[in-house]
Amino acid sequence: MSAIDARGLSCPQPLSMVMSALKKEKGPITVLINSESAFESISRTLKSQKRTVAISRNGDEITLEIGPLS
């Protein structure tokens, strides 16, 4: 289980952090972001991964719950 807080970070740091976590972490990953462009680039990456993703929004903040490696 790991958590990433990428709120307010410039491109491509949110994506870069998620990518390195996906390599290292087999368990679930929680990602917190507040940028639509980061959300889009991370979503595109996750499409090619064999992991489940649950997305929830709270105002400007977006939480991605990435499931464990199956």
Partner 1 sequence: MSNGFFSSTKGVVVAGLFIGLGAAVLQKLGNPGNMGLCVACFGRDVSGAVGLHRAEVVQYLRPEIMGLVLGAFAAAILSGEFKPRMGSSPLIRFFLGAFVGIGALIFLGCPWRALLRLAGGDWNAIFGIIGLAVGVLIGAYFISRNFSLGASQKSTLLFGLAFVLLMIGLLYLRVAYPPIEGQAKNDLLFYSVGGPGSQRAPLWASLIFAIVIGYFGQRSRFCSIGAIQNAVLFKQFHLLLGVMGFVAAAFVANLAFGQFHPGFEKQPIAHQLQFWNFFGLVIVGFGAALAGGCPGRQLFLAGEGDADAGVFVLGLLLGLAMAHNFSAASSGAGLGPHGAGIGVISLVMIFLIAITGLAKKA
For residue 63, state whether it binds partner 1 (rule: CB under 8 A).
no
Site for partner 1 in 30-49 (CB under 8 A): 34-37, 40-41, 44-45
The rounded distance, in Å, linking the Cα atoms of 49 and 35 is 21
For residue 54, state whether it binds partner 1 (rule: CB under 8 A).
no
Q: Are 18 and 29 in contact (CB under 8 A)?
A: yes
- Cβ nearer to partner 1, comparing 1 with 59: 59
The rounded distance, in Å, linking the Cα atoms of 37 and 67 is 22
**Residues interacting with partner 1, by CB under 8 A?**
7-13, 15-16, 19-20, 34-37, 40-41, 44-45, 60
